[in-house]
């Protein structure tokens, strides 16, 4: 543990800490361009120069110099200022003076640091160089003339995204970022390139020229495009979501988000249900008032027994509305409710049986990872990035049972189906078994029981994991939105569908003559079949709780208000209960949350995972010999929002829908 002084403040840091990190611990900011704390250190921008006593009498790059005993570092001396001014002058020789037309303006590292270290005029009269823009696909806009060759994008692509497509080509003044043969960066994390770029060279393409950072209202929220629960910041202007950015959370998404999380927001602006509808006698959906929709739906339900009414919760539902709907169904005397609309045979009875128990950050401790019927690259790119990190730092072996996958780390293929799982014998102390939705088919209970048997569970390690694909699933299971008795659709004459847009539900579950109430925010599969539509709020429009695949309860905040006459979802259920003469016992969001956390204490623990006991789940039995398949075939279009997104449609066109390769 070397002890050193930075600006005369004494600090003791673990061996191997760089000066820039030590200074950060003291709250001293050192300017930088190439250094990024999640990437390797090339030390090529030279902006972080500091003066070090007890070393050579020249400025040192603080990102690449490890702290040593008795060092004296000065981050603000005359030598440092002179050196940084020199570096800045060199960087600005070729950087264009186009800040007024650059989207990075206002949140640009170079712009900010030029204010501190830049000169107020240029000493150069030579022409600035121009670099041809690169084609990086539908998500990343390039302006390569603005590039300062920090190589963050090159390192991000090869280290985090696992695609070795970018490189630093040529030499000297001709140096530029390029791809081997001009091609789009094929990664589900490519949007992060725009974030790591410290200047306006790589930009968010769909956001181009739409807003300035200082016009935007920033709201911290939670993503629902997959079950990772990535922490996001929603930037809105007026009542329009302008962009989605990642928010640092080391235990979940570090500081990355997947492309669907970042870019599907334009789907929130089209195909929206902005007013209630009822299906009239001619079979057409007709706009109506909330009152009319409620009275019409209630009139129908009142003619039925409780046991003739069923409810389903879709992939994007929040906890509060699911909880309210559960209470409503119970008040009506119905027990037919389920959230496993994709047919995944999860065991709803024990939380340990449907959670990602190892935790996402815990994957880094694993000494073996087994993927069963899942393609994390498409189902949860952020978790895939963690697996890659584990492989990159520790060479953690990865095994695959199911389809052969195109992953960005090497793996050992064990087999296609249950027989490979039966034979699974990993010699490891802390293996993590990850079961995907693709493995939990009709015989999912038996698969779960078998996977449970193969999992290593000790006092400090739980290696059994379920990787969900639906953001609302774990929350709905936690509030008990699942049938007590075996689920049966027999005799159900009316369905309350809460955000259910899974086509297979309408093919197999909902009877042709059944009466359907659809509550949701998009005119997708569910709304087409509905007899009454209650327009709800999308995830950006409501304050709500979500539970990610780990069982981590997280709070989303409303960034904008619901469109048109749409309302927050729990309010719709509450208002409808009044019309049905079974009023629910809460009138405000605060009341609901209070009651919710009184009943299920885990929900009071926002941001955390509440531990659960390791209990038996699943049911041993024979498993069919058919092979497991991945639940997500088309990464870019998995739900009502991403199906309505033009950007996502462009991605499908550019990258092709399936990334899978044929089974050998």
Partner 1 sequence: MKPRIAPPELQPATFTFKDTAKVADILSRYPADKKQSAVMPLLDLVMRQMAAEVKEGGGWIPEAAMEEIARICEMPRIKVFEVATFYSMYILAPIGKHHIQCCTTTPCWLRGSADIVKACEEATGCHVGETSQDKLFTISEVECLGACVNAPMVQINDEYYEDLTPERMKEIIAALKAGQDVPKGPQIKRHSSMSAAGPTTLIEEAKKAGAL
Backbone Cα Rg of the chain: 27
Closest distance of CB 663 from partner 1, Å = 24
How long a stretch of residues is the chain?
664
Alpha helices in 398-502 (DSSP H): 418-423, 444-454, 473-478
Closest distance of CB 128 from partner 1, Å = 16
Q: Which is nearer to partner 1, 170 or 208 (CB)?
A: 170
Closest distance of CB 390 from partner 1, Å = 20
Give the residue, chosen from 93, 101, 169, 598, that forms a contact with partner 1 under the rule CB under 8 A: 169
Tell me if 408 contacts partner 1 by CB under 8 A: no
Give the residue, chosen from 96, 105, 106, 167, that forms a contact with partner 1 under the rule CB under 8 A: 167
Kindly list the distances between the CA atom of residue 528 and the CA atoms of 93, 309, 470, 601, in Å, as whole numbers in the listed order: 59, 20, 21, 38
Q: Which residues pair with 221 in a beta bridge?
A: 232
- Rounded Cα gap, residues 251 and 241, in angstroms: 26
| Residue 429 burial (CB count, 10 A) | 12
Rounded (5°) CA angle 306-308-309: 70
Q: Which is nearer to partner 1, 407 or 545 (CB)?
A: 407
Q: What torsion do the CA atoms of 213, 216, 220, 226 make, to the nearest 10 degrees?
A: -80
Q: Which is nearer to partner 1, 168 or 295 (CB)?
A: 168
Q: Are 481 and 295 in contact (CB under 8 A)?
A: no
Q: Which is nearer to partner 1, 158 or 230 (CB)?
A: 158
Tell me if 181 contacts partner 1 by CB under 8 A: yes
Sole window of 163-171, 293-301, 546-554, 628-636 interacting with partner 1 (rule: CB under 8 A): 163-171
Q: Which is nearer to partner 1, 90 or 180 (CB)?
A: 180
Tell me if 165 contacts partner 1 by CB under 8 A: yes
Give the residue, chosen from 121, 123, 171, 427, that forms a contact with partner 1 under the rule CB under 8 A: 171
DSSP E strand boundaries for 462-543 = 464-467, 494-498, 515-520, 532-535
| Residue 288 burial (CB count, 10 A) | 18
Tell me if 158 contacts partner 1 by CB under 8 A: yes
Give the residue, chosen from 10, 78, 126, 174, that forms a contact with partner 1 under the rule CB under 8 A: 174
Structure tokens at 107: 């949140």
DSSP string, 252-264: TTBT---HHHHHG
Closest distance of CB 170 from partner 1, Å = 5
| Total site size for partner 1, rule CB under 8 A | 14
Burial 302-337 (b: 16+ CB within 10 A, else e): eebeebbbbbbbbbbbbbbbbbbbbbbbebbebbbb
**Contact code string over 108-147 relative to partner 1, x by CB under 8 A:** ----------------------------------------
Rounded (5°) CA angle 306-311-317: 145
User: Any idea what DSSP says for residue 299?
Assistant: H
- Rounded Cα gap, residues 216 and 235, in angstroms: 6
Closest distance of CB 33 from partner 1, Å = 20
Sole window of 167-175, 535-543, 568-576, 648-656 interacting with partner 1 (rule: CB under 8 A): 167-175
Q: Which is nearer to partner 1, 171 or 512 (CB)?
A: 171
Q: Which is nearer to partner 1, 119 or 180 (CB)?
A: 180
Sole window of 45-53, 157-165, 456-464, 596-604 interacting with partner 1 (rule: CB under 8 A): 157-165
Q: Which is nearer to partner 1, 175 or 646 (CB)?
A: 175
Sole window of 33-41, 161-169, 328-336, 554-562 interacting with partner 1 (rule: CB under 8 A): 161-169
Q: Are 500 and 312 in contact (CB under 8 A)?
A: yes
Tell me if 443 contacts partner 1 by CB under 8 A: no
Closest distance of CB 255 from partner 1, Å = 24
Q: Which is nearer to partner 1, 169 or 248 (CB)?
A: 169
**Helix/strand/coil (H/E/C) assignment for every residue in 613-631:** CCCCCCCCCCCCCCCCCCC
Closest distance of CB 153 from partner 1, Å = 12
| Residue 210 burial (CB count, 10 A) | 13
Closest distance of CB 586 from partner 1, Å = 57
Contact residues for partner 1, defined by CB under 8 A:
158, 164-171, 174, 178-181
């Amino acid at each position: 543990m070397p002890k050193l002084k930075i600006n005369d403040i004494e600090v003791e840091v673990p061996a191997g800490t760089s000066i820039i990190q030590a200074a950060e611990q003291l709250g001293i900011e050192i300017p930088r361009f190439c250094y990024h704390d999640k990437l390797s250190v090339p030390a090529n921008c030279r902006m972080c120069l500091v003066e070090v006593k007890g070393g050579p009498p020249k400025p040192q790059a603080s990102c690449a110099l490890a702290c040593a005993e008795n060092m004296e570092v000065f981050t603000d001396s005359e030598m440092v200022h002179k050196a940084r001014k020199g570096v800045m002058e060199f960087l600005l020789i070729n950087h264009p003076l186009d800040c007024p037309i650059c989207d990075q303006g206002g949140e640009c590292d170079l712009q900010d640091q030029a204010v501190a270290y830049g000169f107020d005029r240029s000493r150069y009269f030579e022409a600035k160089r121009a670099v041809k823009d690169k084609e990086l696909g539908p998500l990343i806009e390039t302006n390569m003339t603005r590039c300062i060759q920090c190589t963050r994008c090159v390192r991000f692509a090869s280290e985090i995204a696992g695609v070795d497509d970018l490189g630093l080509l040529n030499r000297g003044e001709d140096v530029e970022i390029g791809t081997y043969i001009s091609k789009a960066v094929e990664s589900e994390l490519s949007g992060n390139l725009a974030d790591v770029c410290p200047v306006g060279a790589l930009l968010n393409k769909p956001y181009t020229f739409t807003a300035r950072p200082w016009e935007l209202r920033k709201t911290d929220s939670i993503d629902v495009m997959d079950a990772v629960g990535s922490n996001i910041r929603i930037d809105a202007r007026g009542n329009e979501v302008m962009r989605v950015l990642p928010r640092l959370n080391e235990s979940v998404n570090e500081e990355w988000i997947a492309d669907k999380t970042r870019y599907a927001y334009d789907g929130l602006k089209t195909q929206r249900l902005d007013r209630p509808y009822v299906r009239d006698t001619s079979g057409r959906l007709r706009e109506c008032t909330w009152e009319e929709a409620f009275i019409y739906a209630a009139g129908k339900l009142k003619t039925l027994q409780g046991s003739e009414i069923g409810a389903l919760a879709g992939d994007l539902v929040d906890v509060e509305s699911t909880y309210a709907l559960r209470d409503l169904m119970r008040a009506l005397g119905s027990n037919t409710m389920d959230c496993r609309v994709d047919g995944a045979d999860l065991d709803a009875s024990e939380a340990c049986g449907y959670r990602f128990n190892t935790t996402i950050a815990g994957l880094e401790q694993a000494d073996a990872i087994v993927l069963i019927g899942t393609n994390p690259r498409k189902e949860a790119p952020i978790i895939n990035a963690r697996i890659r990190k584990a492989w990159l730092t520790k060479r953690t072996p990865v095994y695959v049972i199911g389809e052969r996958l195109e992953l960005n780390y090497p793996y050992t293929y064990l087999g296609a189906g249950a027989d490979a799982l039966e034979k699974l014998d990993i010699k490891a102390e802390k293996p993590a078994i990850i079961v995907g939705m693709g493995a939990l088919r009709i015989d999912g209970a038996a698969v779960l029981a078998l996977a449970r048997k193969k999992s290593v569970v000790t006092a400090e390690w739980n290696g059994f994991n379920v990787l969900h694909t639906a953001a609302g699933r774990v929350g709905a299971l936690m509030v008990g939105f699942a049938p007590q008795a075996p689920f049966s659709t027999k005799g159900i004459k009316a369905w309350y569908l809460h955000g259910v847009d899974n086509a297979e539900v309408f093919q197999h579950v909902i009877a042709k003559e059944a009466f359907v109430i659809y509550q949701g925010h998009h005119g997708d599969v569910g709304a087409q079949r509905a007899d009454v539509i209650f327009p709800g709020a999308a995830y950006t429009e409501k304050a709500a709780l979500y539970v990610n695949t780990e069982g981590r309860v997280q709070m989303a905040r409303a960034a904008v208000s619901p469109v048109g006459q749409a309302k927050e979802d729990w309010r719709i259920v509450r208002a409808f209960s009044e019309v049905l003469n079974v009023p629910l016992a809460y009138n405000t969001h605060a009341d609901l949350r209070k009651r919710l956390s009184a009943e299920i204490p885990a929900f009071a623990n926002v941001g955390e995972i509440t531990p659960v006991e390791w209990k038996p789940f699943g049911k041993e039995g024979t498993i069919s010999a058919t092979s497991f398949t991945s639940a997500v075939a088309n990464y870019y279009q998995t739900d009502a929002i991403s199906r309505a997104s033009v950007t996502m449609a462009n991605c499908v066109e550019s990258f092709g829908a399936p990334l899978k390769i044929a089974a050998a």
